[in-house]
Structure 1
């Protein structure tokens, strides 16, 4: 595996540094170790995150670009190092541009794929209320507190989706609780349902005011049932 080969190469360089007597050779190997260590760490973290997310059944669409080529290059470097540790001082390829930088790009692509998979999962397993509907409902003073609560929950869900979790099981449980809390708040506010005509009327009221024609029987009945008619007045524009 590419990650294993890169990590093994770094480990052997670090071990060899301790055994060499030549300060010059040790210095060259130390430079290589410092060059390889960050990318090995980044690859390790990306692989761990991706594997953890996949382990809980979340699909991640990721195929390593140049994975075979980079894996072979890592194997060749490791074999050359074992045969002659000084081979890394003058390698046949440009290690920065043809190996290290490409591995860094691969690790970043893996991180982005893991995040995209997580975002998709959160989106498919949550049901946020639209901003326009919430704006319309917030025009009713009796609903403002609940609307604020719903917005707060939705922001927490958005925040949860913005980074790939290190502990997907815990993140999924947090999402489940937030979705349940959101559903309870929404049901509390919309018990009995909110007709489209009511949404349109409340939305208009929250902006420049609703025309008298929008105040039909359905809207009036909905407001009367909830004892909300006293909150509205008719004005001539």
Structure 2
């Protein structure tokens, strides 16, 4: 039998660990039979109780000692608030560093968005500026991958598709926009702007296709 651990918190709620599911025995007549369980009760503050629980669930040495040497079947841990609160300085430093890094990345993304928008506007007239805007979008995508934000990644890919359209790579842009549109429709409840971005860039792509067909027809008529 595995040692059952019960933690009773400040509000007298019980949390069981290692408890086996109850199964009805064969030939049960419906009458309840109470089985005597050897129990060990301990009153601990929450900090000590946390160490006890980690030892019991992870190391298993203490569990085996209690079961083998003392025949304990249920360990009851009643928790009460500690006299002095403790501060996890290591975790606080890690959290502060993560938050500060996130703030710096957001600041960098805003600058890249402004710079990319300027080059994208110039890309309507100069292909070299369109290529630079595409490189900026790829840098933003790298940051989005590091942050693990799929919606940010999708927006960066759509920005990159604008650069592809300006450079005349319409087929690559079409595949990219369609992929992001499928993703946007699956998560429309979380980010409706993404769907509108896809539709707006798709209209721009259709316009470029129409312009290309018009130029080809004009060239055929002149020849």
Task: Give the number of the structure whose alpha-carbon radius of gyration is greater.
Answer: 2
The structure whose residues are more often strand, as a share, is: 2
Higher-helix-fraction structure: 1
TM-score (norm 2): 0.24
Higher relative contact order (CA 8 A, sep 6+): 1
